[in-house]
Every structure is written in structure tokens, then in C-alpha cells.
Amino acid sequence: MTHTVHPYAHRLGIIRDWKSRWFAKTPAQYRENVVVDSAIRRFLRKRLRGNYVTSVEIERNEKQIRILIKTSRPGLVIGRGGEGSAKLTKEIEKAVRAVPTRAISFGGKGKSASGKKAVRLDIEEIRSPESQSPVVAYMVAEGLEKRQTFRRVLKQTVEKVMANRDVQGVRIAIAGRLGGSEMSRTEEIKRGRVPLQTLRADIDFAREEAYLPYGVIGIKVWIYRGDVFADDKKQG
């Protein structure tokens, strides 16, 4: 019997660390933190689409929520003179306050403590975007949304990724009404090795969607960046 396991979750505690790092004293506080973290990620995924964001990490203490955004285009997020990051911080605070207390307390009796915490936003630049699966997945989506043929998009993207010396293997799968056909189908392209069952293998995985007039195309990307040993743990 086989199971499909997310490559990131499969390696948690081995070569990967958690993307939300905090401690909850009570079950109610734990519920609130999970709901708020989920709301922040949903908001940033929609708000920063196209800014080549690779990951969003959240840390908390008693006074503030620290959000670390890793992107290959920090200038687009920060803006001129820091205006973009200041505006984004206010929008995140508004999104946190908008989380319904009913979703947190299972009855609407509790109050959200996260809405009172200050939000600190940190932006970190990613040097090698072609080795990051979220960026590659968006590149595929961008090509498809520009009405390019899917085979050409897949081939060009794979060639760009394999040109990066950090990458040892890549696999891209797309599914949906490809080329506007009546029946949906799946197409896949692969170069090099992608050892999904090797726990020390540094596999970066991402999902994305391309929105086309005849439907949504689902995109999955796996990138193999070599093995990670002993004290060489990666955050992802």
C-alpha cells in the first residue's frame, strides 16, 4: 500500500524545521494561533502572488508576531523608502483582527489575543530563485496564463532550472484542460534524479494554479538539491 506524503512534512525534524514556531500554554491559545497563522498565510499568498515569494515563516512571543517573508524580489515587497512593507504590515494587522472569534473559541465566547499583538515584518532575499519550487511553479503558471503552449512552457522551465548548479533533478506535473481540450489530463516532465523516499534528500515541493478562460490548471513542482548531512539542516 502506498501513500502520498508531502515532501516537506515527510522531512520535519530530520532536515526541515517548522514554518510556524511558537508555544501555546492552553488548548484555546493553540487553536487561536493555528487559525490566525492560517489566515495570515492565505492573505499573503493572495496579496503577494507574482512577487516570487518562496516561504512565509511565523514566530511569536507574548508581545508580537514576527513574520519572515523569503522572496527573490524584495524590492517589490519593501517598496520605495519602505512604504510597501509598512502598508503590508498594516494590512496583515487588519487581517489578524478580522479573524472571527467563533472560529477560535467554538462558540464565540472567547476574545482573540492575536489582534492586540504588534506585527513585525522581515524580508529576506533569496539568491537563487530557479532552485526554489514556489518560484518555478509560478513561472509555469505565468507562462500558461500568457497563452503559451504547455509543452513549450514545461521544456523552457526545466531547462532554466537544470542550468542552476545547485539543482540535481526536477519534476513538473500539470493537470487540467490542457490546450483547451474537452477532457482534462495530466502531463509530466522530469530531468535528473528526484528521490522522494530518501529522508536526507533536499526535496523542495510546491503547488500553484494557473487561471485560464477554460478552467484552472493545477501545477506541482519537485526540485532535488542534493543530500543534507548531520549539522547541515536547511530551513527550506
| Domain shared by 69 and 16, yes or no | yes
Residues 117 and 162 in one domain: no
Tell me what pLDDT residue 233 has.
57
pLDDT at position 108 is 47
DSSP 137-162: HHHHHHHHHTT--HHHHHHHHHHHHH
State how far the alpha carbon of 51 is from the alpha carbons of 33, 90, 136, 139, 170, in Å: 26, 18, 12, 11, 22
Q: What is the mean pLDDT of the segment spanning 188-208? A: 95
Q: Give the sign of the dihedral formed by CA 140, CA 143, CA 146, CA 147.
A: negative
Top pLDDT among 143 and 107 is at 143
Cell numbers at 231, concatenated:
549539522
CATH number of the domain within which 118 lies: 3.30.300.20
Q: Let me know whether 26 and 83 are in one domain.
A: yes
**Residues 13 and 113 reside in one and the same domain:** yes
* 144 lies in the same domain as 117: no
Mean local confidence (pLDDT), 209-214 = 94
Q: Is the pLDDT of residue 105 over 60?
A: no
pLDDT at position 231 over 70: no
The number of folded domains in the chain is: 2
Distance CA 105, CA 31 (A): 8
114 and 144, same domain (yes or no): no
pLDDT at res. 106? 47
Name which of 145, 152, 36, 177 is nearest 96 in CA terms.
36
The residue among 108, 125, 142 that closes a domain is 125
Residue 2 lies inside a defined structural domain of this protein: no
Query: Is 133 in the same domain as 220?
Result: yes
Whether residues 20 and 117 fall in one domain: yes
Secondary element (H or E) of residue 197? none
Residues 76 and 118 in one domain: yes
Rounded distance between C-alpha atoms, residue 80 and residue 57, angstroms: 24
What does the pLDDT average to over 188-196? Answer: 96
Tens digit of each residue's pLDDT (9 = 90 or more) over 43-82: 999 999 989 999 999 999 888 999 999 999 999 999 888 8
Residue 25: strand, helix, or coil: coil
pLDDT value at residue 62? 86
Q: Domain check: are 141 and 206 in the same one?
A: yes
With a pLDDT cut of 70, the percent of the chain lying above it is: 90
Calculate the alpha carbon distances from 203 to 105, 174, 230 in Å.
37, 18, 16
Please determine, for residue 116, whether its predicted confidence score (pLDDT) is greater than 80. no
| The pLDDT of residue 99 | 85
Highest mean pLDDT among 23-32, 107-116, 131-140: 131-140
> Each residue of 174-187: b (16+ CB within 10 Å) or e?
bebbbeeeeeeeee
With H, G, I as helix, E, B as strand and everything else as coil, classify residue 206: strand
Say what the pLDDT of residue 101 is. Answer: 63
Question: What per-residue confidence (pLDDT) applies to 134?
Answer: 96
pLDDT, residue 107, reads: 46
72 and 133 share one domain: no
Q: Which of 125, 142, 165 finishes a domain?
A: 125
> Can you give the pLDDT at residue 81?
87
Q: Cα–Cα distance between 152 and 157 in angstroms, integer?
A: 8
Domain boundary residue, one of 75, 98, 125: 125
> How is residue 43 written as a grid cell?
492573505
pLDDT band at 4 (very low <50, low <70, confident <90, very high): confident
**First and final CA of the chain: distance in angstroms?**
29
Full residue range of the structural domain in which residue 114 is found: 7-125
Does one domain contain both 75 and 114? yes
Core vs surface per residue 44-53: b (16+ CB within 10 A) or e: beeebeebbb
Which pLDDT band, with edges at 50, 70 and 90, does 3 fall under?
Answer: confident
Characterise 215 by phi-psi region: left (phi > 0), alpha (psi -120 to 50), beta (else): left
- Report the CATH number at residue 174: 3.30.1140.32
Does position 168 have pLDDT exceeding 90, yes or no?
yes
Distance CA 201, CA 219 (A): 22
